[in-house]
Amino acid sequence: MVTDGSERTTRATDGTDSAALKELTLVTLIYAALTVLMTLPLSLAPGSHVTADVPDTHLYIWTLAWDSYAFLHQPIGIFDANIYFPFANTLAYSENLIGSAFFAAPIIWMTGDLVLATNLTALITCVLCGTGAYLLARRLNLSIAAAFICGLVFAFAPPRFFRLGQLHMTAVQWIPFCLAFLHAYLDRGRRRDLLLAIGCFSLQALSSGHGAVYLALAVFGLLAWQFGSGTPVALRQRLRDFGGAGAYLLFPVVWVILPYRLAQDEAGLRREYLPGMQPGIESFLASPTIVHQFLQQALWGPFEKAPDTYLFPGIALLALAVAGAIAGRARRNTVFYVLVAALSTLMFVDWPFELWRYVYWMPGLNFIRVPSRFMILTVLALGVLAAFAFDRFTARLRPSARSAAGVVVAALMLAEYVVYPFPAVPYRLEIPAVHRWLASQPRPFVVAELPVPSAGDLGALERQQTASMLHATAHWQKTIHGYSGIRRPYHHQLYADLHDFPDPTSLSSLRTAGVTHMVVHTAAYGISWRTIEEQIAKSGQLRLVYSDGDGRVYVWGTRN
């Protein structure tokens, strides 16, 4: 049998890809095991704990639940969520988390456990952040040991790892995957790598708008760097490689951008420059790990001001990254990641100048509310530089010795990053019986929950809003309640009106809003409930249709 050269090349490539896939599978399993260990005891009780029992957490739980519901019932109209009635397109008021819901939805469909699905999704992002950074380092021709260190950094370095409770900030796993495939395409010219890069870009845009902005900056920077330093532009070939398949893969990005643009225009949202948003020195030194807390107390003492966020990436990482930047200053890829680290850091520091002041208004960047979140991109770049340093300093070692050195460095980094117990609090999502009853009623209907706390008690008001959102997951009908990065003046006024329910103003506002069912939690009124009940009766406008425990459902109409 005669075998031509192209067939031999194809077989060789297939064999290489198969070996690479096995390698990637193995390291993914290792990162999964490490994720379980590093998040103990949360990882052993993901259905009964959350990293923080706060409105943001409740919002992420609701968002994944809504996405999972919409996948089956209204995939085209997924952005027309059930909150903030009577407005449409309300999923675009916050991060949509559609990409993360690809992981959460099967868990929700099988178990119905929204908390379990949210936590497992967050843990999966850690695993994939490690795997993606590993793949990126391998595409940069770094050794297995160096690549493993790079993945370890992006998975567990404090500035990213301890955002586990912020699902839109931890779901940045597609950034390194996209860069890895883009590097491969620019080096080898294989169309498949370009299409994989485009697919990963779209997945990132679906998973996190913040992550998509960071990735877009990195992609544009990489293209400019590569073409500016000698890589042929070959525009016709690039366009042919992109082709219809590339446009198809990139379409989700356009599909996601449009609702956000529409929501911002309708709400009149214009982000202005906010002075004082840059983190202070305490945030740059802050980290919750055992080692970092010990060193901070021993060398620095208590901070005069509480840190806004955790930005300290680790001693070992900083040492290796600086060494990598110096040792690899003549290598094109090393210099690029030095620039990425420098420019992303300049976004959230005010020395030697405050870059954010001059760029915050640019398309995409005006989506970023807190510039210190650019630290996530900095951490990835530092991980790559640390991997470069490791390979440079172990280049003369035998393979076995290099592997042993990699184990030692990885162990030191993990020891520096450990927190035990991982921050988590018990949490149980309970849906009141009245909402389960509502699920059996004719549809459509619109729900309001009462009482509504005073606008002056913002903490209680926000918790009431997210509780109402979660209660509505029992039936997924429209509700006037909502919590997000955007709140229209209409709802600010509506919630203020409802505080004095059932006075004439509140009843008029409920009618005007189109509410059909009022869910009243009598226990929340305490000793005032008897008075409230008498006022409802005197109004002559509401009729009790269901009661269970401290939950009551009223509709419009007089009592029978």
DSSP state letter for 299: I
Whether residue 6 lies inside any domain: the answer is no
Whole-number pLDDT of residue 523: 95
Whether residue 548 lies inside any domain: the answer is yes
- Domain residue limits at 514: 433-556
Same domain, 294 and 437: no
Q: Among 177, 197, 178, 180, which residue's Cα sits nearest to residue 129?
A: 177
The two tokens of residue 211 are 């992550």
Same domain, 401 and 448: no
CB 87 within 8 A of CB 486: no
Burial class (CB in 10 A: 0-12, 13-18, 19+), 373: buried
Map tokens 């070939």 to a residue. 237
The two tokens of residue 556 are 């419009």
Same domain, 350 and 450: no
Q: How many domains would you assign to the chain?
A: 2
Same domain, 377 and 477: no
Residue stretches of the chain with pLDDT short of 70? 1-16, 330, 558-560
Whole-number pLDDT of residue 16: 67
Q: Among 381, 354, 427, which residue's Cα sits nearest to residue 133?
A: 381
Whether residue 13 lies inside any domain: the answer is no
Whether residue 7 lies inside any domain: the answer is no
User: Can you tell me the distance from the alpha carbon of 281 to that of 456, in angstroms, rounded to the nearest whole number?
Assistant: 32
Burial class (CB in 10 A: 0-12, 13-18, 19+), 2: exposed
Q: Render 324-365 in DSSP notation, one character per residue.
A: HHHHTTTSHHHHHHHHHHHHHHHTT--SS--THHHHTTSTTG
Same domain, 357 and 465: no
* Residue that finishes a domain, picked among 388, 417, 446: 417
Same domain, 36 and 65: yes
Q: Among 94, 109, 110, which residue's Cα sits nearest to residue 58?
A: 94
CB 499 within 8 A of CB 463: no
Whole-number pLDDT of residue 15: 58
Whole-number pLDDT of residue 10: 46
User: Can you tell me the distance from the alpha carbon of 39 to that of 81, in angstroms, rounded to the nearest whole number?
Assistant: 32
Whole-number pLDDT of residue 480: 98
Whether residue 9 lies inside any domain: the answer is no
* Residue that finishes a domain, picked among 366, 382, 417: 417
Say what angle helices 375-393 and 174-188 make with each other, to 10 degrees: 50
Same domain, 352 and 469: no
Q: What is the pTM of this model?
A: 0.94
* Residue that finishes a domain, picked among 359, 389, 417: 417
Whole-number pLDDT of residue 452: 96
Q: Among 145, 153, 144, 159, which residue's Cα sits nearest to residue 176?
A: 153
Whether residue 427 lies inside any domain: the answer is no
